[in-house]
Amino acid sequence: SAVISQKPSRDICQRGTSLTIQCQVDSQVTMMFWYRQQPGQSLTLIATANQGSEATYESGFVIDKFPISRPNLTFSTLTVSNMSPEDSSIYLCSVALDGYEQYFGPGTRLTVT
Amino acid sequence: GQNIDQPTEMTATEGAIVQINCTYQTSGFNGLFWYQQHAGEAPTFLSYNVLDGLEEKGRFSSFLSRSKGYSYLLLKELQMKDSASYLCAVRGNTGGFKTIFGAGTRLFVKA
């Protein structure tokens, strides 16, 4: 199994600012994913972040808006840039072990005013 | 492209059995997952199917038919704590083995 922590757990931010979310895993993992979950909705994949390569973004998500870092096998950051109220959501970090079971962090609840 | 369909909501009675269906269309297939998510919490893994057939784990079972693009999650002896959203998710075999989630089925268990 994997234990994942995220910082911050929640934040309220002003429109036009940026927030960086940190994800720390207690073991080395190759595959790491960032998801967004808006109220009452399911999870939407933002990007896949593998160490040693640039993140791969899903349709509708771009690097300028959601830059991702993956400096090592236990850590990643997601930045939500130039925020608008539409970015209000829960952002979840996830890892896949052995290409199989996927574990999720507790999430970061972001509110943009 | 990928598409995952599951019912939006279901209601069942404590002690009963409920089956949550999921149909999917994917460009590649490398496994189907079921997750449970309680309100305000992160999803937790329930089951994984990559071959056709039934996987049983305690009160929960999951079935897969790859030829039909169909899966179901079976919950037996329902308990009030089973009230949650159940997410069907499919992993492809390209693009970093990413997993795409369905919209989820909200299950309400009543006494």
Q: Six-digit token pair at A12?
A: 């309220």
3-class DSSP state of B61: strand
CB contact under 8 A, A31 and B100: no
Residue B96: per-residue pLDDT = 61
Task: In whole angstroms, give the CA distance from residue B36 to residue A5.
Answer: 19
Nearest-neighbour CA in chain B from A39: distance (Å): 10
Report whether pLDDT(B1) > 70.
no
Which residue in the set A31, A33, A104 is minimally distant from B42, CB to CB? A104
Q: What is the pLDDT along chain A (113 residues), one digit of tens a residue?
A: 789 999 999 999 999 999 999 999 999 988 899 999 988 788 999 999 988 778 999 999 999 999 999 999 999 999 999 999 999 999 999 998 775 778 999 999 999 99
| Cβ-based contacts of A101 with chain B (< 8 Å) | 45, 48
Q: What is the pLDDT of residue A74?
A: 94
Residue matched to tokens 């939006």: B8
* A66 phi and psi angles, rounded to 5 deg: -130, 65
Q: How far is A23 from A21, CA to CA, in rounded Å? A: 7
Helices (H) and strands (E) in chain B, counts: 0, 11
Q: What is the pLDDT of residues B84-101, one digit of tens each?
A: 999 999 988 765 667 889
The pLDDT mean for chain B works out to 92
Q: Decide: A66 and A85 in contact? Cβ < 8 Å.
A: no
A112 close to A15: Cβ distance less than 8 angstroms: yes
Tell me which residue in B31, B43, B104 faces A104 most closely, judged by beta carbons: B43
| Beta-carbon contacts below 8 Å between A and B | 48
Residue A16 contacts B where some CB pair is shorter than 8 Å: no
Closest-CA residue to B36 (of B98, B111, B107, B100):
B107
Cβ atoms of A19 and A13 within 8 Å: the answer is yes
Strands A108-112 and A102-104: unpaired
